[in-house]
Each structure stands twice: as structure tokens, then as C-alpha cells.
Amino acid sequence: MAAWSERRLIKKIRQASLRASNGLLKAIGDDCCEVTAPGSFLISTDTLVDSVHFDVSFHPPYLLGRKSIAVNLSDIAAMGGRPRFVLLSLCLPENLEWDWISRWLDGALEILQEYDCVLIGGDTVKGKELVLTVTVLGEPVGSGAVYRDGAKEGDTVWVSGDLGTAGGGLALLNHNKNEHDSLDLGGWNALLSGHLNPVPRIHLGMELARSGLLTAMQDISDGLATDLAHLCQASGVSAIIYGENLPFLPELSTAAEVLNLKLEDLILRSGEDYQLVFTVRKGKEDEFVGLMQKSKKEIFKIGEIRSGAGVFYDNGDSIEDISFQGYEH
């Protein structure tokens, strides 16, 4: 297998950049690129390191390319924004196969195109290990970006979809990597895909922002227990959530049993689902539900905002403070 070459990689990146023109005034090939700017930009950057943030032994490069972009797009979704431009900084080991990085880039370019987002530049360097840095710029829609810090007592707490999916998928993949009794992964596609190919909730995020009824939002990257705690801490409030309201896939219970894991841990404390957790303004719940039904969006009310501090979990029998009990990258 041929190793990657910087010239070939830059050529491929440059060709992709030249095909795109939406808002790109000056493409790759000058000291800077130049983009048209709206009133404000939302900006986020994430660095992923091999064997810390991902595992090349079971993550196909094409899907990892998609995911490397998806986790950044999710930060834009968490503000209710529209992603516009992306920069890549790739630190690649000298012996990395061309095929691997080429497929990685194919995946990255594919998901960028799906969200009408443009690769505008970046840098490639040689290093000892694989380090992928993605920076994304987006623009707020509707009446502006939704921050973390606006939740108030009496608001309701919602999530955009199933929790624990990615955590279940990762646990299955790790089991088969580390244990002798390999499982047949044939029936677990939804869980595996949750980890390998997560979907950033861009369109939903924009719709939520446009409703004008949200008070706070963020994405769930470190698990609900941690991410809702961030939202509550930023807003100076507490939250109570009800176990019976938390959405999860039926196969997650089976996976938990097979793997001898607590279902509750996967749902509350495993990361990387990239669903959105958000709060709806007190007294606006009916209006909000009406809007969501009209656009056929499935979302889940999981609890309420209260005064004080902490995230409290009501499992039907008892109430426990689960703040910051999530996944740490």
C-alpha cells in the first residue's frame, strides 16, 4: 500500500475547495482564504487524537471522516446555527496509507456537501501520531444563536432523540476488540452506527432556534448527566429528569444485558450521541408542541428546570443527583 503524500492530499483538498463557491471569495492557494461573513459567526474547533478519541482498528476511515466533521457540525447545531465553512488541520504519521486518508477525506467531503458546507482551507503536516483538528464556522438563524445560559425555573427540558445509542455501539465494538467471546454484531446496526456514523441535528437545531421558544440548548457529547449539568450550571438553575421519559432504542436494553452493563449508565452517562438537550420557555410548551407536530418532528420532554443547582434523576423509586457523571474525553 502506498503511503500518503502531502502534494497529493493538498491537491485533493484544493479540488474540493474549488468546486465549492457558496460564499467563498478566495479559495485555498493564497496566504488566507476569504469568506463572506453574515452579522456574526459561530465558531468551534475540535481536536481528535487516535486511540484517545477514536480507534482506527474498528473505525472505517470513511465513517471516521464523516464523524470528524459531524462532531463539529453538532456544535453549530447546539447553537441552532447553519454550518457554512470548515478548515482541516491534519497531522499524519509518515507511513499512513494513502488509501486510508483518501477515504477519510471522502467521508469528510461527503458530509460537508450534505449540509451545504464548504471546505475552505487547512494545513497538513507530518507527525508521530494521527491528530485531526476540525474548525467550523456557522451563522445564527432566526432571532439568533441559542446559548446554554438562558434556562429559567419552570422551563421544560427536552431531548431530540434516543440516548445511549452511541455508548452501546462503542461497548459492543470494544467487547469484540478486547474479549475472547466475540459477539455476532449483525443485529446491532443502529447501535454501531450511533458510534461510527453519528448524525448532527443541524436541521432540527435550526428549526428549534427559529421557533423563538427555546431558552437554552447544547449537544450531548459527554452524556446527558454531564451536558445537562453544563447547561444548568451556565444558567444558574437545577433540573429534574424522569427516567420513564428518557428515549432509547429497544435493542439498547438487550445490548446492556448481553454486555452486563447497566442500561441506566448507557442512557445517562455514555457520550457521543450528539442529540440536542434544550429548554422551552415556561408557559410556551403548548405552542412549542404544536409547532413540532406541524413539522412532524419527534422530540421528547424529559423534565423541568427548577431553582438551585444540580441535575436530579428520578428513577420512579428514588431521586439522585447525577450532575457531571458523564463520559470524559
- 29 contributes a contact to a second copy by CB under 8 A: yes
Q: Exactly one of 5, 8, 21, 52 binds a second copy (CB under 8 A); which one? A: 52
Q: Exactly one of 61, 81, 169, 303 binds a second copy (CB under 8 A); which one? A: 81
Q: Exactly one of 10, 12, 14, 49 binds a second copy (CB under 8 A); which one? A: 49
Residues 300, 247: Cα–Cα separation, whole Å:
7
Q: Exactly one of 1, 2, 7, 39 binds a second copy (CB under 8 A); which one? A: 39
- Strand-pairing partners, residue 321, are 312
Q: Which three cell numbers stand for residue 80?
A: 441552532
Is residue 249 a contact partner of residue 262, using CB atoms and an 8 Å limit?
Answer: no
CA angle centred on 168, ends 167 and 173, rounded to 5°: 95
Looking at beta carbons only, is 133 or 165 nearer to a second copy? 133
Q: Exactly one of 5, 22, 45, 293 binds a second copy (CB under 8 A); which one? A: 45
Q: Exactly one of 3, 41, 190, 247 binds a second copy (CB under 8 A); which one? A: 41
Kindly identify the residues of this chain, within the stretch 221-260, that bind a second copy according to CB under 8 A.
Answer: 234
Looking at beta carbons only, is 248 or 324 nearer to a second copy? 324
If binding means CB under 8 A, how many residues of this protein chain bind a second copy? 60
Q: Which three cell numbers stand for residue 48?
A: 481528535
CB-based contacts of 98, cutoff 8 Å, min separation 6 = 1, 2, 3, 4, 5, 8
Least distance (Å) between residue 33 CB and a second copy: 5
Instruction: Give CA separation, 16 vs 23, 63, 200, 214, 225, in Å.
Output: 14, 18, 22, 36, 39
- 18 contributes a contact to a second copy by CB under 8 A: no
Binding mask 124-153 for a second copy (x = CB under 8 A): xxxxxx-x-x-x-xx-x----x-xxx----
Burial pattern 254-267, b for ≥16 Cβ within 10 A else e, equals ebbeeeebebbbbb
- 4 contributes a contact to a second copy by CB under 8 A: no
Q: Which three cell numbers stand for residue 278?
A: 434544550
**Listed residue (228, 225, 204) closest to 279, CA to CA:** 228
Near a second copy by CB under 8 A, which window of 79-87, 103-111, 262-270, 308-316?
Answer: 79-87
Contacting residues toward a second copy, per CB under 8 A:
25-26, 29-49, 52-53, 74-76, 78-79, 81, 85, 87, 89-91, 120-129, 131, 133, 135, 137-138, 140, 145, 147-149, 218-219, 234, 329
